Amino acid sequence: MLQETKQRLDKARLMQVARKANIVFLSTKQKLFLNSKARRKTLLAGRAFGKTYIMLICIGYIAKLLQRARFFFAGRTFKLVLDVVMNDSADAWAALGWYEYHEKVNPYGNYVLFKEPPANWPRAYKSPKTFDRCISFDSGFCLQLLSFEKPDSNRGHNFDGGFIDESATFKSEWVSKILMATLYRANTWRFKDSHLHNSFYDFTSNPWTQAGRWIFGTEDLMKQDPDKYLFMEGTAHDNPTLHPDYIKNMQDTTEPLVFRIEVLNERLGSLPNCYYPQFDDEKHCTSNTFDYDQNADGIWIPTFSDYDPNKPLEVSMDFNNYICSSIVCQEVPNKLKVINTIYVKQPRDNKTLAETLAIALDEAYPDQVKKEMIVYGDASAGSKSAGSKTTFFAQVVAELRSRGWKVTLRVLKTNPEHRDRFALIDQILAESTTNLPRLRINRNTCKALIISMQNSPMIGDMKKDKASEGTSLPQEFATHLSDCLDYILYYKYSSTIRKPKSSGTKMRWLGG
């Protein structure tokens, strides 16, 4: 008994020494962000600025100072929030002298993940009923993890403040109608002298889509009231701890547009004449694509909920010598779900680029039960690729069949008129008729498709401008993936709204 007590005392002394040794190093801009007394803050920064680190330091700082407060930590999906918590939080909070509590391994810890805290710890004034999505600190501070796969499930809470990670991926209405409504409702009299109470911080890189541009609202508000609002921008240049060659290496290895937006933090302009005028990524895209289960250790395990391994995969493909692209779909009643985008830019070993795409598709679905694939594409894919005596589709089919897939081709012999294709797709996206499906795109796996659609211009006679193909633009953001969508929508649904013409372009299905 005495020996056990001595061991505990020794461990406590070691923990105290370790806490005193911890030093939080922040860059100049990170310090300015942390020390600002603005209640509403937005940090817009590129890769390697340290957005996640300063966000976690802010959480730890507030957890120390606002004892028994309850804040939210919101992400587009629970998986994204879990990635931050599981991968980055321990190091950041250790810098503040806080460590994870384990009853046997570390009974002197300061926070617990996803379970009820020890009985002798204080609780938040507005303590949650369950703790399976909470991080509880020994100060009584509670951080509740929110995700927006099902936005309405986040209504009705009472929080003392909150954080959003990658806020440019959020819909503006999630913030204005749901999250903001949870603040200013509780404990104002308890924390009336603290600028941290009812504080609301969001952290993000520049938005790739128009829906994310709401984040610039903080910038406008700061011009009106700089004491209440802070909008800060930053790049890797602001991080003095980076290796001197980091930015040059990123420039050498990252495609120019990605480098400019995600590293240099440049803003992407809007496209004035888009080929998809009815496309609304808030309506046609969904983040609600995960199911979650906790394992025996209490760790959350995400799985895709919009993918059914017992149904065939419908795959639409586009082939070029520098990129081979595909989108993966599954149809349910009244809805076509785009569940994935897969593309390849470099061939494997002695394989062609088309064969490499087939391999990538096979490897992406190792648990597929019904190994059937229906393949769509345009007429040009019936030609032969450079360096091969067989067509693109023949290469894909042969490779997939060698891996155990049953493959059916649904490819038109000739392509439709531009006006016909545009009219059908526009009508599908408008959702103005019940005889056409609702299109729903997985926002978590199809970022490149969404960007491709929003950056596809239109030229005369309802024709898509393909000028981005083969340029320095990252080719997954060019028009290839949007073409894949066009192919499957037209081939599956054109007969729904128009009868075959007695003359004109003749359509014939290729089978295989």
CATH at 454:
3.30.420.280
Mean per-residue pLDDT, 281-290: 84
Higher pLDDT, 257 or 436: 436
Tell whether 246 and 395 lie within a shared domain.
no
Please state the rounded mean pLDDT for residues 350-360: 94
Residue 153, classed as helix, strand or coil, is helix
* Of residues 329, 324, 378, the one with CA closest to residue 491: 378
Instruction: Find the angle CA(136)-CA(79)-CA(210) to the nearest 5 degrees.
Output: 115
Residue 503 has pLDDT above 70, yes or no: no
Is the pLDDT reported for residue 411 higher than 90?
no
Query: Is 280 part of any domain?
Result: no
Q: What is the pLDDT of residue 188?
A: 76
83 pLDDT exceeds 50? yes
Q: What is the per-residue pLDDT across 174-223, written as a single tens digit (0 to 9) for each?
A: 998 999 988 877 677 788 778 899 999 999 998 877 778 899 999 999 99
231 and 125, same structural domain?
yes
DSSP designation for 206: -
Structure tokens at 231: 């909008």
The more confident residue out of 210 and 259 is 259
Q: Phi then psi for 33, rounded to 5 degrees? A: -65, -45
Distance CA 210, CA 229 (A): 23
- 445-477 burial, b at 16+ Cβ within 10 Å, e below that, comes to bbbbbbbbbbbbbbeeeeebeeebbeeebbbbb
Amino acid at 341: T
In this prediction, residue 388 carries a pLDDT of 64
For the four alpha carbons of 115, 116, 119 and 124, in that order, the dihedral sign comes to positive
Domain boundary among 229, 245, 263: 263
Is 286 domain-assigned? no
Block residue for tokens 């321990």: 90
Whether 466 shows a pLDDT value over 90: the answer reads: no
Tokens of 273: 């004449």
Q: Find the CATH number of the domain harbouring 61.
A: 3.40.50.300
Q: What single letter denotes the amino acid at residue 203?
A: F
pTM for this one? 0.64
Selected residue with higher pLDDT from 266 and 55: 55
Kindly state the helix (H) or strand (E) to which residue 482 belongs, with its residue range: helix 480-497
In a domain, 151, yes or no: yes
Same domain, 127 and 20: yes
Largest pairwise CA distance in the chain: 97
Q: Which two tokens stand for residue 265?
A: 């933090």
> What's the one-letter identity of residue 372?
E
**Residue 500 predicted with pLDDT over 70:** no
Counting residues of the chain whose pLDDT is more than 90, the rounded percentage is 51
**Pair (364, 493) in one structural domain:** yes
Please check whether residue 376 lies inside any domain of the structure: yes
Domain holding 237, by residue range, is 2-263
Which residue type occupies 495? S
